[in-house]
Amino acid sequence: MEDLSLHILDIMENSVDAQARRIEVHIDEDLERDLLTLEILDDGKGMDARTLQKAMDPFFTTRKTRRFGLGLSMISESAKATGGELIVESAPGKGTQVKATFHRSHIDMKPIGDIPQTLLTLLAGHPDIEMSYCHTIGGETFSFDTREIQDLPIGSLQVLRWIGERIHEGINRLTRPTKDS
């Protein structure tokens, strides 16, 4: 996968397949330690220890629509390529937590990609899913949670457009240099 947003979308789709009702995406860019931590949590059905162990195998999947489960193994390889790691924790009835750490300045670090479009893709296809997104860069944070707009029809084009603009503007505020820079 060419950027982290595609890894995020793949893992979120796995969460939907695992009957998650809520998905949280956290990105923390620690500039001082040169780390990017990506964390995706869901409240899906979770995995038992045996399934969790197999989940890192690219030739294992529980999906019926394809024969390969490349998602976790690919993000693991992306993290390892930068000197980082992937940790997956899960238990039946407890959901799943995927945490990948990357060294930001490493030559093999993939770009983050189009996060607003990634999140909108999930919401357009699954407007009933509660989703939160939190992005921190150097101590400054932007967050969005669909629970804040629960009275709006999330699947409508106007609402999706508004969500995309809000997330895009929030990320831009984080990445825009300050006067002190």
pLDDT value of residue 69: 42
Position 66 scores a pLDDT of: 44
Classified as helix, coil or strand, 144 is: strand
pTM of the full structure: 0.88
pLDDT at 26: 98
Please report the pLDDT score of residue 56 as a whole number.
Answer: 73
Task: Please tell me the predicted confidence (pLDDT) of residue 67.
Answer: 39
Q: What is the pLDDT of residue 129?
A: 94
pLDDT value of residue 53: 81
Q: In 10 A of CB 39, how many CB atoms?
A: 16
Backbone φ and ψ of 94, nearest 5°: -115, -5
If one counts every other C-beta atom within 10 angstroms of the C-beta of residue 163, the result is: 22
pLDDT means per 10 residues, the chain with 181 residues, are 91 93 97 97 93 71 47 90 96 96 97 95 93 95 92 87 94 74 44
d(CA 131, CA 144): 8
Query: In the prediction, which pLDDT does 62 show?
Result: 52
Q: Give the helix ranges, DSSP H, for 63-156.
A: 70-81, 115-125
In the chain the domains, ranked by start, together with CATH numbers, are 4-175 (3.30.565.10)
C-alpha triplet 3, 33, 174: angle, nearest 5°:
60
